[in-house]
């Protein structure tokens, strides 16, 4: 039997405009410029993100991994055998902890990773197949929205959709509501949703995590412009923009921008778009919201995703919430 299936719902290769760039035009022609955070994740961006996860200042990955290490078997026991669907799977490193826990209980291993970066999805799927001889992988190269729409009801006992790494924080409150409604639609009653969220904490710790000393986060941020250059035949000069990230304490969110070092004109030929930048004008490339564990659980319950159990680390820096429809 074939253990690996890779399906492309979007074609995220440089020359293709399947994800058509209207969102780029929209974002860059507004009064306050912004770009969708999704454009971080070309193959290079995904690699840089992997490097971010290992940075000393970026506590998120390390903390969530520690929580999973401690509680993955408890999660597996609570859900029973199920198919794991993972949104934004990236390198699937943390997922291995869940796969190990299900394997320990002799459950069949079905994994459905979903990511916009085809390169990283393929290489990590192949590595997983080599390491888990009984694993079946059905990978989807897709945005979350598209994948959740296309997802058929699980053919297996049950399903758990995993959205770990606090990627929920990269959605605005309105996008978050829509997204949670899509999750609910993709689950049958009794099925599970596992959510990882970064929690509110002092500003200094948060700002250090998004302004690392090695400059990897700055490179990750700037790479979005390189991605747009390749994808839409653009001429952003990466030397003429700089990384800027700070914690907005009233909104409880990190805001990440690219700031124009001087007044300049940029052209994206494939979109027939010319954009003027004033000196110091910024493009908002990402928000990263920080949550309160009680409030987010109430919000999940309102969306019919009933929290079954929440786990955190000793410092209460990160939360993992298991919900059931
Ligand atoms: C993917 N996401 C949860 C990361 C975050 O922390 O919001 C993306 C990131 N941006 C800068 N560093 C990491």
Q: What is the pLDDT of residues 132-148, one digit of tens each?
A: 999 999 999 998 888 99
Which among 296, 299, 291 has a CA at the least distance from the CA of 316?
Answer: 291
Distance (Å) from CA 206 to ligand 1 centroid: 11
Q: Sheet containing 253-260: which strands, arranged edge to edge?
A: 33-34, 282-289, 253-260, 241-248
Nearest atom (ligand 1) to Cα of 167: 3
Q: Closest Cα to atom 5, ligand 1: which residue?
A: 288
Indicate whether residue 285 lines ligand 1 (CB < 6 A).
no
Give 234's DSSP letter: B
Report helix angle 118-131 to 95-104, nearest 10.
30
Q: From the CA atom positions of the chain, what is the Rg in Å?
A: 20
Residue 215, token pair as written in the block: 């400059």
d(CA 55, CA 48) in angstroms, rounded, equals 11
Indicate whether residue 88 lines ligand 1 (CB < 6 A).
no
Q: Of 148-162, 179-193, 206-220, 234-248, which gets the smallest average pLDDT?
A: 148-162
To test the pocket of ligand 1, the residue of 93, 221, 288 to mutate (highest count of ligand atoms within 8 Å of its CB) is 288
Indicate whether residue 212 lines ligand 1 (CB < 6 A).
no
Which among 265, 284, 268 has a CA at the least distance from the CA of 231?
Answer: 268
Predicted confidence (pLDDT) per residue in 105-124, tens digit: 999 999 999 998 888 899 99
What are the residues facing 234 on neighbouring strands?
A: 268
Indicate whether residue 196 lines ligand 1 (CB < 6 A).
no
Predicted confidence (pLDDT) per residue in 155-184, tens digit: 777 999 999 999 999 999 999 999 999 999
pTM of this prediction? 0.93
Q: How many residues are there in the chain?
A: 325
Distance (Å) from CA 37 to ligand 1 centroid: 9
Predicted confidence (pLDDT) per residue in 221-235, tens digit: 999 999 999 999 999
Nearest atom (ligand 1) to Cα of 165: 3
Indicate whether residue 253 lines ligand 1 (CB < 6 A).
no
Indicate whether residue 247 lines ligand 1 (CB < 6 A).
no
Enter the ipTM. 0.99
Nearest atom (ligand 1) to Cα of 209: 12
Residue 113 Cα distances to 123, 128, 141, 217, 309, angstroms: 12, 11, 8, 25, 24
Distance (Å) from CA 190 to ligand 1 centroid: 31
């Amino acid at each position: 039997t074939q253990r690996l299936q890779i399906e492309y719902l979007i074609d995220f290769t440089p020359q293709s405009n399947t994800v058509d760039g209207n969102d780029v035009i929209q974002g860059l022609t507004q009064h306050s410029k912004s770009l969708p955070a999704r454009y971080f994740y070309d193959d290079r961006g995904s690699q840089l993100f992997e490097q971010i996860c290992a940075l000393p200042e970026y506590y998120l990955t390390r903390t969530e991994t520690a929580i999973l290490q401690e509680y993955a078997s408890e999660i597996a026991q609570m859900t029973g055998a199920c198919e794991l669907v993972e949104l934004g799977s990236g390198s699937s490193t943390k997922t291995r902890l869940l796969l190990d826990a299900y394997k320990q209980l002799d459950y069949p291993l079905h994994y459905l990773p979903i990511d916009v970066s085809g390169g990283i999805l393929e290489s990590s799927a192949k590595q997983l197949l080599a390491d888990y001889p009984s694993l079946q992988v059905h990978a989807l190269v897709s945005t979350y929205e598209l994948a959740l729409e296309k997802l058929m009801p699980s053919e297996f006992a049950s399903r758990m959709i995993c959205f770990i790494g606090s990627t929920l924080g990269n959605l605005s409150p309105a996008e978050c509501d829509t997204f949670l409604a899509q999750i609910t639609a993709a689950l049958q009653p009794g099925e599970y949703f596992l959510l990882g969220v970064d929690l509110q904490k002092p500003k200094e710790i948060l700002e250090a995590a998004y302004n690392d000393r090695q400059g990897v986060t700055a490179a990750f941020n700037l790479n979005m412009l390189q991605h747009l250059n390749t994808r839409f035949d653009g001429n952003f000069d990466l030397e003429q923009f700089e990384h800027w990230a700070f914690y907005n304490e009233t909104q409880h969110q990190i805001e990440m921008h690219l700031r124009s070092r001087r007044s300049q004109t940029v052209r994206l030929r494939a979109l027939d778009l010319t954009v003027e930048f004033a000196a110091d004008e910024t493009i908002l490339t990402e928000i990263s919201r920080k949550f309160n564990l009680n409030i987010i659980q109430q919000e999940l319950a309102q969306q019919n995703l009933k929290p079954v159990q929440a786990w955190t680390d000793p410092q209460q820096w990160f939360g993992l919430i298991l919900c059931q429809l």
